[in-house]
Amino acid sequence: MKSVWVQLIAAGIVFAACAIGTAAGTSLGSDWTERPVSDDSPFSGVQISADGGTVFAGGNHMLVRSWDGKSHFGGQSGIIAAMSPDGNYVVTALGRSVTLLNNKGEPLWERILPATARAVAISRDGTLIVAADEKGYYSSWARNGDFYGRVTDDPAKKIAISRTGDLVVATTEGGLRFYDGALNVKWADNRSGSIDTYIAISSDGSTVITAGGTRLSSHTSNGTLNWMNDVTKDTIIDMACSEDGSAIIVGGQDNAVTAIDRYGKTHWTYSTGSKWANSVGVSTDASVIAVGASDGTVYVLDHGGSLLAKRSTGGIIQPRSLAVSRDGTRIVVSDQYRLNGLEVIGNTAPEGLVTYTSTPLNPVSRYTTETTIPTVNPVLTLTTTGQTPVTPAATQKSPTGLFVVILAVAGIALVMARGKR
């Protein structure tokens, strides 16, 4: 009977080890690093192309490289710069000059603004380029450099172009502005004040999400207000959205990451300890959410706010300097010393993840505030007919508990065997 007991215990240990290996199914590995030209000019913003193959990093000396490192160029100023989401073009501004580069770093054309550049944006395939200067002049051009339009308005903080290319959104010192490609004003909102800075536009162009201070706002493409909520306890530092706008992730000075759905409902928060959540990024469906904390820690969360993996970069992560590939397998993050290319290894998609592209709720007529933080991490699962009750995320079976059960079964078998002697 001694041999039976030994076999049962051995089997239990093997089974429990397998269970532990399954539970720890996601890890974060380092694939490559890039150092800036000088230590006193770190990279200050990153993008990943839609196919995950090209990386852009801004700063005093910008860098553009393929993930495998075979393509590599940069050196120009990238403080005011952006890469087209397809990875084929980069627009950069220095002083009054705006330059469009191809994916080899070759200048295609240069245009001069009325005053010093303040913000630039480029459409998905580079067919529309928009720049704004400090005197409030907005200018737009086609990919070949042909002039589209110009308008004078309040100076811009940031500019974004919809994936469909027919909507230009600017956060300005006087409120939100919506334009078409020729910079004809589609809608102007002075009611929202000058608080908004960050912009995200859903993939179908129907919803515009903006953030500033502690406030998050949602508008339709024609400017109708869906909702406006205070979602954090302190200033928002960064914002990212799933492509359909169903999951909105913000990081801030309240040392937390907060997840909000398309209807303005806060679903969960994840604490980054005593450090600011300086940067956030999400995959297409928000099944992978990456967070860069000011202490240099990168957190990888799932759609329900549960931790999948984390690691330290070794340096302070810069604000708004993290990006996630559409499929969630690659993360690029800039710290004070280097640009880091990280691989997400293992299964990251939670069971039952559902996102929809339904239109937002009917507009609300009043300012609402929602600061209640749930004690559980629910999955952002919505229906096309409205907001459903919060559904808790699936819990993972504890390997330790499983090991105890196996040992208990083995013990019972031993007692029964001894009873028969």
For residue 417, with 0-12 CB atoms within 10 Å meaning exposed, 13-18 middle and 19 or more buried, which class applies? middle
Task: Name, in order, each residue with C-beta under 8 angstroms of 393's C-beta and a sequence gap of 6 or more.
Answer: 302, 303, 304, 305, 306, 350, 376, 377, 378, 379
Cα(329)–Cα(263) distance, rounded to whole angstroms? 28
10-residue averages of pLDDT along the chain (421 residues): 45 38 67 88 92 95 95 92 97 98 96 98 97 98 96 96 95 95 93 85 96 96 95 97 96 97 96 96 96 97 96 92 96 94 78 42 39 34 33 35 41 47 49
Q: Which backbone phi and psi does 8 adopt, to 5 degrees?
A: -65, -45
Residue of 246, 236, 180, 190 lying closest to 210 (CA atoms): 236
Q: What is the tens place of the pLDDT at every residue in 80-96?
A: 999 999 999 999 999 99
The reported pLDDT for the residue numbered 41 is 83
The reported pLDDT for the residue numbered 26 is 85
Domain ranges of the chain: 29-396
For 355, other C-beta atoms within 10 Å of its C-beta total 21
Residue of 200, 263, 194 lying closest to 226 (CA atoms): 263
What Cα–Cα distance (Å) separates residue 382 from each residue in 25, 83, 386, 387? 27, 32, 7, 6
Extended beta strands in 162-288, E state: 168-172, 175-179, 185-189, 198-201, 207-212, 215-220, 225-230, 236-241, 247-252, 256-261, 266-271, 277-282
The reported pLDDT for the residue numbered 358 is 43
Residue 282: what residue type? V
The reported pLDDT for the residue numbered 192 is 64
**Domain 29-396 is in which class?**
mainly beta
Global pTM? 0.79
Cα(276)–Cα(261) distance, rounded to whole angstroms? 22
The reported pLDDT for the residue numbered 37 is 85
**CB of 325 within 8 A of CB of 381?**
no
Of the CA atoms within 13 Å of residue 268, those in its CB half-sphere come to: 22
Q: What is the tens place of the pLDDT at every residue in 287-322?
A: 999 999 999 999 999 999 999 999 999 999 989 999
